[in-house]
Amino acid sequence: MASAHDRAVLQAIFNPTSPSGDVPGLNQEEELIDDDSGFEVGLLQQVKDLEMEGVTAAEAGDLPTALERFSQAIDTLPQRASGYNNRAQTRRLQEDTEGALEDLERAIALSGGVGRTACQALVQRGLLLRLACQDDKAREDFERAAVLGSEFARQQVVVLNPYAALCNRMLTEVINKLRNPEVSETQ
């Protein structure tokens, strides 16, 4: 089992836009886990080793090797969600948004929308949807990830709330008028 520090490092690598310390599950009483009980133990260990090799390659900036290791993990256990999520992160870093979205869709479907992998995949898909200006769909993913425990997703739900945005804009105007009354009088 990886330590909290290890999870934070991996989170920073694969989710560079998330705030520090936003490791899914750490903000909950019970940590999110993925159910790997249905897989043969030897194959599961082989896949986890391939995924760690992929993470190591990604940390070193060798994205082609990382992509290859994650693809090998998927080929070995195609019904395990984690490999698709990891490969999606690598594809995103390689600016293959379409491929990343396909892998995230598969990770979410295989995970049943629960567990650590689902939470991470929902956040990543939400970010990609937000970049594509699909804020309603992004908000849906962030809401689902927030329920699973992602603090970053909770923050994004607030940011994408149109009422909150309106209130923030109005509050900013009021504060600016209070800080600079002479500027607001001349306008």
The per-residue pLDDT for 172 is: 82
* Better-scored residue on pLDDT, 144 or 34: 144
Q: pLDDT tens-digit profile of 1-31?
A: 455 655 555 555 555 445 544 444 444 434 7
For residue 23, the model assigns a pLDDT of 46
169: pLDDT strictly greater than 80: no
For residue range 146-155, what is the model confidence (pLDDT) as tens digits? 999 999 999 9
Mean pLDDT of 65-85: 97
pLDDT of residue 182: 76
Segment 87-142, tens digit of pLDDT: 999 999 999 999 999 999 999 999 999 999 999 999 999 999 999 999 999 999 99
Q: Percent of the chain beyond pLDDT 70?
A: 80
pTM score: 0.73
User: Is 142:122 a contact under the CB 8 Å cutoff?
Assistant: yes
What domains can you pick out in the chain, each with its CATH number?
A: 4-161 (1.25.40.10)
